[in-house]
Structure 1
Amino acid sequence: MDTSNDTKTLRQVASSLCKSVDIGTAVLPRPLFAIPKDEESIPNATVECHHEESSGQETKLNKYAEIVSTEFNSIVIEHHLKWGPLCHTLPGPINESTPSTRLGRYDFAHCDAMVDWALSKGMKVKGHVLCWHVTTPEYVEKLSGDQVREELKRHIFTTMGHFRGRIKMWDVVNESLAPDGSLAENIFYRKMGPSYIEECFRWAHEADPTAFLIYNDNKVEGMNGPNKEKADGFYNLLKGLVNKSVPIHGAGMQAHFNAGGTNDRQRVPTPLQVKNQIKRIGELGLKVNISEMDVRISKLDASAEVKTLAQNQIYHDIIAAALTEQAFDGIWLWGFTDRHTWVKSFYYDDSPLIFDENYERKPSYFAVRDALSTLAIGGTVGGNVKLQQDNESSEPWGHEWMPKQEMAKDNEISGDSRPDWEQ
């Protein structure tokens, strides 16, 4: 791994590749727009969005914003663009003391600021997400099926219409699959039936016929690997949509990995399994991206050195393997600094990203950069990662750190619609 004095950024490496590849990160408004001298005291919270006054001069970027603009060519808004936050839970200028229960009240202040900032830096913005049951306003549950259909359609048209021309790619539906690969019995499935996914894509295409539309899910990254049933369900769902001529253009595989996982619900897939999953989805005519990557290491029972090795290997080898497939078009990290990561709020204390809490590059940063460089001039496609057979040697991929496999508990309930961190 090259950790020399080379100062080339991820964005610069991506611009030199033999094909167009998005290298993106999820962002939050508070650290993005924090006044530089105050950023160190800002917790990982999402409150008032504000800009630094600069007396007509160019605004000085804080460290968070500086890294986003120099290291990445794309952003995705981590939370504020989801239905519930837009309409109810995260108001901007609208009076926070009087939350609304009216579905038509939208507050785009946070999202407008982030989108316009990114576009001013020459970055692409991915919209996330139009339909996800977990962040749907609670009062939608009280509506009839016809009313849910009407309000979901209105939400898609309202949100895409507001950003038309600025956001040109969208995660349309997120996490519709249960652990066994069947459709989760979430609010949309119960109220609208299984056709809701197809309907969302058709509405999204009608709202903006020029937009690139994506289906996104988790624990679907490896063909014939951990979570095989869900990975197969992911492929079969995509194939069914394509066969129905539904306007879908891409698939997002989240890649929230846990290096310490011991059973098939938690273990990290091998690079070959990821490559093969991308390959068969690409054969459907779809593009594929890694959409929310982070690598947890705190549950790995090993030394600090081995934890670092595991994190580096997962980042490098999975990305290098994915880049060998023509259908693969982007890597999106779910945040970039351990100072601002959802993992600490939803799981436990960890350091899953590529910059530390002080915004210094970690070894995992160079692992990602080296993986990207496999498609640059002078690079080696695949990065010398073994991609023929997982059992081609006595030392399988990850043997230096991969925990001994255990049987998964019998909790893979058909139709389970709970988010991953609750299962």
Structure 2
Amino acid sequence: MSRTSRTRLRLVGALTGALLAVVAADPAAQAHCDDPPTLADLAQRHGRYFGSATDNPELTDTAYTKILGSEFDMITPGNGMKWYATEPQQGVFDWTAGDAIVDLARAHHQKVRAHTLVWHSQLPGWLTGKEWTADALRAVLKKHIQTEVRHYRGKVYSWDVVNEAFNEDGTYRETVFYKTLGPGYIADALRWAHQADPKAKLYLNDYNIEAVGPKSDAYYGLAKELKAQGVPLDGVGLQAHLALQYGYPTTLEDNLRRFARLGLDTALTEVDVRMLLPATEEKLAQQADWYRDMTEACLAVRRCVGITIWDHNVG
């Protein structure tokens, strides 16, 4: 999940157009359009949020933080809540980076999508540099999840509890957690997070699950199984890292609907649209269309609760 590109502010026009399309048909909403609306304003009129990722080194840029604090109503810490940052030494926790994002959000009356508790990447060396028994790793995983979730209890809207658990073909990713604990680590992680903060929304999150296919089918099957077992799962996050050269996920709306039928929320959680350089006017227009199309797909499905772009810049 490296930040391979940043969403440019010039694309706000396309996103705003998609959000305004429904507002324009609503006379009551039109009455509030005297001032230029922000993306958050427009999303809220549809009962959605519109967010951005951010990262701590960016917070010294006042032009950047001005937009972050005014245009969005949800923010996601890009790195500050990941395992390497929060537990750099076993049993020694550091909340500095995550707290800075939470404090910024509170100052601007924003919510926080907390990201992420269990992921195979950006793990500290003490975790990846040894062989674990199942009992030992289970204890480490539980302690990490519950310590972090308790620290942010009441301060965050949701957690990406397990991130990127499947391969492209729908098989489980061979992470240290899967290889040592088996697939049950996902249900355990959700239960432990819920115990630590019963009010936080709990998500599974992944890329390349926007379209109906083997990987999204795996999540659908897992979510159905978890719901049947009474495991606390509130939603599925579709990262939506797209690229023009790979085509648009035309079954996105259908996919959102089938998760909704399971009683789950969905969200587009890390949205960006890349292209092969050099950029052309045609590519930029297509990029803007894709942002609009994704926004309209979310608006069309009641349980798609919001969109987060994977950071922005002021260029």
Per the shorter chain, which TM-score range?
0.7 to 0.9
Give the superposition deviation at 1:174: 0.3
In structure 2, which of residues 246, 256, 261 is the aligned counterpart of residue 278 of structure 1? 256
Structure 2: runs of 5+ lacking an equivalent: 1-12, 18-34
Q: Secondary structure at the match of 2:242?
A: strand
Runs of 4 or more off by more than 4 Å in structure 1? 1-4
1:116 match: 103
1:157 match: 146
Give the superposition deviation at 1:136: 2.1
Q: Confirm whether residue 166 of structure 1 aligns to residue 166 of structure 2.
A: no
Please report the TM-score for the alignment, with normalisation by the length of structure 2.
0.86
1:212-231 superposed matches below 5 A: 212-223=201-212, 228-231=213-216
Give the superposition deviation at 1:12: 2.1
Q: Confirm whether residue 80 of structure 1 aligns to residue 80 of structure 2.
A: yes
1:376 match: none
In structure 2, which of residues 200, 204, 219 is the aligned counterpart of residue 234 of structure 1? 219
In structure 1, which of residues 123, 130, 145 is the aligned counterpart of residue 134 of structure 2? 145
1:90-101 superposed matches below 5 A: none
Post-superposition CA distance 1:44-103 (Å, at most 9, x none)? xxxxxxxxxxxxxxxxxx111100011000101001100112222xxxxxxxxxxxxx31
2:39 match: 10
1:334 match: 310
Considering fraction of residues, name the structure with more strand.
Answer: 2
Give the superposition deviation at 1:268: 2.6
Q: What percentage of residue pairs aligned between the two structures are identical?
A: 35
Please report the TM-score for the alignment, with normalisation by the length of structure 1.
0.64
1:184-195 superposed matches below 5 A: 184-195=173-184
Give the superposition deviation at 1:326: 1.1
Bigger Rg, structure 1 or 2: 1
Q: Which amino acid aligns with 1:326?
A: R
- 248-257 or 107-116: which moved more? 107-116
2:8 match: none
> Alignment RMSD, CA only?
1.9
Give the superposition deviation at 1:135: 2.1
- 139-148 or 77-86: which moved more? 139-148
1:170-209 superposed matches below 5 A: 170-209=159-198
Aligned residues: 284
Q: Which amino acid aligns with 1:79?
A: N
2:53 match: 26
Partner Cα separation in structure 1 for residue 79 and residue 308 of structure 2: 15
1:68 match: 68
Post-superposition CA distance 1:276-311 (Å, at most 9, x none)? 000000000000000100000125x8x611111110
Partner Cα separation in structure 1 for residue 307 and residue 218 of structure 2: 22
Give the superposition deviation at 1:109: 1.1
Contact 2:85–2:97 at 8 Å: present in 1 too? no
1:242-321 superposed matches below 5 A: 242-261=227-246, 267-270=247-250, 273-298=251-276, 304-321=280-297
Q: Which amino acid aligns with 1:256?
A: H
Q: Secondary structure at the match of 1:66?
A: helix
Partner Cα separation in structure 2 for residue 196 and residue 11 of structure 1: 35
